[in-house]
Amino acid sequence: MAGRSKTSPEASGPASAASAAGGPLHVAIVMDGNGRWAQKRGLPRTLGHRAGVEALRRTVAAAPDLGVRWLTVYGFSTENWSRPAAEVRELMALPKRYFDSDLKRLEREGVRVRAVGRREGLAPDLVALLDEAEQRTAHNDRFFLQIAFNYGGQADIADAARRLAEAAAAGRLDPATITESVFAGSLSTAGLPLPDLIIRPSGEQRLSNFLLWEAAYAELVFQDVLWPDYDAASLADAITAFRSRDRRFGGAVSDDVLVAG
Ligand code: FPP
C-alpha cells in the first residue's frame, strides 16, 4: 500500500466532517497578520509571531467548546523559507515556544497532535520535538490539532504523486486503482476528514498554498482581525458565518431548479 498510515482512528475518512448539527467539525486556519500586528505597535515582527502563539493557545482552548473536533493550523509554509534569515529562525523556534508551555496540558486534556509537512529541511531537534509531541499525545482522541509546518499544498500533492509513482514502478500498486480517495490517502493529511471551514484572518483573501486538495468543498471565511488578536469570539463569528452557508457539494438542494419542460 502506497498510502500513508492512518493516524486518526476516529476520523471518518476523506469525506467532509460537518455533522447534521451544523458543524463545522474540521476547521483550518491560516494564521495571518502577525507582522502587521507588530508593525502597528512599532514592535519587531518576531514579537508578532510570539503573540501569534498566544492566539493559537486561545483558539485551541476555545475550539472544542464551539463543537470543533479537528483543527488544522498553518504554521510555516514551504515558501516562508524566503523570509529574512532572522525571521525564519524565529518561526522555526515557535513550535518549541508553544510545546514548552503547552504540551503537558495538551497531553492531559486529550488533545492529539500531528505535524504535517516536510520533515526534511527542518533541524533535527525540531523534528525530534514534533515527533515527541505526536508520540506523547498519540493516545488522545478528544480533540485533534494538526499543525502544518514546512507545508505546502503543491509540495504535498507532488510528494503524494511521487510515492504513488514509486509504488507503481515497484509493482506494489496498479495505476488503474488510483482514485481520488487513494490519492487522498497518500497526502500528509490522510486520515482526517476534509476541512469544512477554512478561515483566513488579517483581511487577505487567498489560500497561499494551504490544503489545496483538501479545500475542494470547504467554506472559506475571511476575517479582518489580525491573528495575534484572534480569540474565541472571532472563531465563534467564523462558525456563525459557516452555518449561514448553503453547502451543496456540487449538487442541487431544492426542487426549484427542476424546471418543467
Ligand atoms: C503569517 O503572518 C504567519 C506566520 C508565517 C507564522 C504563523 C505561526 C504562528 C502564529 C504560530 C505557530 C505555532 C506553532 C506551534 C507552529 P505574517 O508574518 O505573514 O503576517 P503579515 O502578513 O502581517 O506580515
Predicted pLDDT at 22: 86
Q: What is the mean pLDDT of residues 159-169?
A: 98
Q: What is the rounded average pLDDT of the residues 43-49?
A: 97
Cα–Cα distances (Å) from 90 to 35, 85, 195, in that order, read 12, 9, 28
For ligand 1, the distance from its centroid to the CA atom of residue 52, given in whole angstroms, is: 6
Q: What is the pLDDT of residue 79?
A: 97
Is a pLDDT exceeding 50 seen at residue 6? Answer: no
Cell matching residue 236? 465563534
Alpha carbon nearest to ligand 1 atom 3, residue: 32
**What's the mean pLDDT in 231-243?**
98
Range 253-257 average pLDDT: 54
**Is residue 69 within 6 Å of ligand 1 at its C-beta?**
no
Helix ranges (H only) for the chain are 34-40, 45-62, 85-108, 124-136, 153-169, 180-184, 232-243
Q: Is 14 in the pocket of ligand 1 (CB under 6 A)?
A: no
More confident residue, 260 or 96: 96
Residue 199, φ and ψ in degrees, nearest 5: -110, 135
Atom of ligand 1 nearest to the CA of 36: 23
Residue 184 CA to chain centroid, in angstroms? Answer: 15
Q: What domains appear along the chain, each with residue ranges and CATH number? A: 26-259 (3.40.1180.10)
Rounded distance between C-alpha atoms, residue 79 and residue 159, angstroms: 16
**Portion of the chain with pLDDT greater than 70, in percent:** 89
pLDDT at 5: 38
Which pLDDT score is estimated for 251? Answer: 87
Distance of CA 118 to the CA centre of its chain: 14
Asked whether the predicted pLDDT for residue 108 surpasses 90, the reply is yes
Mean pLDDT of 27-54: 98
The separation between CA 225 and the C-alpha centre of its own chain, rounded to angstroms, equals 19
Q: What is the pLDDT of residue 253?
A: 60
Active-site residues, by number, are 32, 80
The response to whether residue 50 sits with its C-beta less than 6 Å from ligand 1 reads: no
Instruction: Give yes or no for residue 52 CB within 6 A of ligand 1.
Output: yes
